[in-house]
Amino acid sequence: TKPMSIAELREMRTRGEKIACLTCYDASFALIEDRAGVDLVLIGDSLGMVLHGGRTTTPVTLDHIVYHSRCVAPHLARAFLVADLPFLSYATLERALDASQRVMQEGGAKMVKLEGGREQASIVEYLSVRGVPVCAHLGLRPQFVHKMGAFRVQGRDEAAAEAMLHDARVLVEAGADLLLLECIPTELGARIAAESAVPVIGIGAGHRVDGQILVLHDILNISPMVTLGRTPRFVKNYMRGASDIESAIRAYVAEVKSGAYPAPEHRFDLPLSVTEKPAA
Ligand code: KIV
Ligand code: NA
């Protein structure tokens, strides 16, 4: 098996093949996801919620991310491994570089992901020119929960949409190799993907982007959010109709590839109704 690379992700985008991404936190699931054809695996700081049972991602530490990266990395033959930089671990250039060094050298990740817009451009450039591939996470940014108070669909009006388009441009110019868009209108996802020089992955960002990502525990219908009855609109339960976990993950990959996921009920198509706010 040929391991996935940034070059291959770009080629998939060029030939119009959707990129299927999923979070992962341990060896058992790493083996299954890899076998099921997941193209990109993320060590998400969502682990603070689905593994630790926290209400937010902000208590997650760099040690947690490195630990779970080490559980996953050796078991991926093909999938591309990306690791989240946790809350405040990239607050300065030096911290960002140290954090990236740890998740890449100790954790085995091939790319780091950080949240933020154009104000993070200097950090993206600092990492990028030193050989650290970066995914920039725009739109709804869970690490800003304490600043925001509540989570809503982002980029809803034209001014906010233009600002996000500008952020995307600046971050790619700074060296970002991938963009991730969370919880934005389908039309804005499509505009950013159309303009972008790099692949654009969405979660609640509609179907007109280059790939999709979801949280593993959400698609298996076992996350605390499911128990609390607060799953976001974009989540789909792939255990429904599946005989086992591997079949569920295969079904997710197949629906991302075919474009069947995300269906209209998983998207924020304009105009949004007032009830369409994602669960926090
Ligand atoms: O932490 C996470 O799982 C993420 C994805 C949902 C994009 O950042
Ligand atoms: Na995350």
Ligand found nearest the CA of 23: 1
Q: How does DSSP classify residue 105?
A: I
pLDDT digits 0-9 by tens, 90-144: 999 999 999 999 999 999 999 999 999 999 999 999 999 999 999 999 999 999 9
If you measure from the C-alpha of residue 46 to the centroid of ligand 1, how many angstroms do you get, rounded to a whole number? 6
The pLDDT of residue 278: 57
Digit-coded pLDDT (tens) for 41-57: 999 999 999 999 999 99
Q: Is 46 in the pocket of ligand 1 (CB under 6 A)?
A: yes
Percent of the chain predicted with pLDDT > 90: 92
What pLDDT is stored for residue 68 in this prediction? 98
Per-residue pLDDT of 178-206, as tens digits, reads 999 999 999 999 999 999 999 999 999 99
ipTM of the complex: 0.99
Apex 135 CA angle, 119 and 152, nearest 5: 65
Q: Assign 39 a pLDDT band (cuts: 50, 70, 90).
A: very high
In this predicted model, which residue has the larger pLDDT, 259 or 279?
259
Q: Please report the domains of the chain, with CATH numbers, ordered by start residue.
A: 6-266 (3.20.20.60)
Q: Is the pLDDT of residue 234 over 70?
A: yes
- Give the tens place of pLDDT for each residue, 63-72: 999 999 999 9
Question: Does the structure show a pLDDT above 80 at 222?
Answer: yes
Mutation probe of ligand 1 site: the residue of 180, 212, 233, 266 with most atoms within 8 A of C-beta: 180
**CA 18, CA 207: separation in Å to the nearest integer?**
10
Q: Is the CB of 211 under 6 A from ligand 1?
A: no
Q: Is 58 exposed, middle or buried (0-12, 13-18, 19+ CB in 10 A)?
A: middle
Three-state DSSP class for residue 199 = coil
Q: Could you give the residue numbers annotated as active site?
A: 182
Question: Which one of the ligands is nearest to 182 CA?
Answer: 1
Phi-psi region of 163 (alpha: psi -120 to 50; beta: other; left: phi over 0): alpha
Joined together, the tokens standing for residue 212 give: 């999709």
Q: Please give the annotated binding residues for 3-methyl-2-oxobutanoate, written as ranges.
A: 45-46, 84, 113
Q: Which of 34, 25, 62, 44 is nearest to 201 (CA)?
A: 44
Instruction: Report yes or no on whether pTM surpasses 0.95.
Output: yes
CA dist 34 and 76 (Å) reads 6
Going by alpha carbons, the residue nearest to atom 8 of ligand 1 is 44
Segment holding 180, helix H or strand E: strand 178-182
Structure tokens at 128: 């990028």
pLDDT of 172 > 60? The answer is yes
Look at residue 20 in the predicted model and tell me its pLDDT. 99
For residue 142, say if its preceding peptide bond is cis, omega within 30 degrees of 0: no
Mean pLDDT over residues 168-187, rounded?
A: 98
Separation CA 104–CA 98 (nearest Å): 10
Tell me what the mean pLDDT of segment 22-28 comes to. 98
The tokens describing 25, both together, are 């936190």
Burial of 264 (0-12, 13-18, 19+ CB in 10 A): exposed
Which listed ligand is nearest to 214 at the C-alpha?
1
* Structure confidence at residue 226 (pLDDT): 87
Does 153 have pLDDT greater than 90?
yes
Q: Is 115 in the pocket of ligand 1 (CB under 6 A)?
A: no
The band of 280, judged by pLDDT with boundaries at 50, 70 and 90, is: very low
- For residue 47, what are the contacts with CB-CB under 8 A and spacing of at least 6? 23, 25, 60, 64, 65, 68
- Give yes or no for a contact between 232 and 203, defined as CB atoms under 8 angstroms apart: no
Residues annotated within a binding site: 45-46, 84, 113, 115
48 within 8 A of 25, measured Cβ to Cβ: no
| CA–CA distance, 79 with 178 (Å, rounded to integer) | 15
Closest listed residue to residue 279, CA positions, set 12, 78, 49, 75: 49
| End-to-end Cα distance, the chain | 38
Contact 118/166 with Cβ under 8 angstroms?
yes
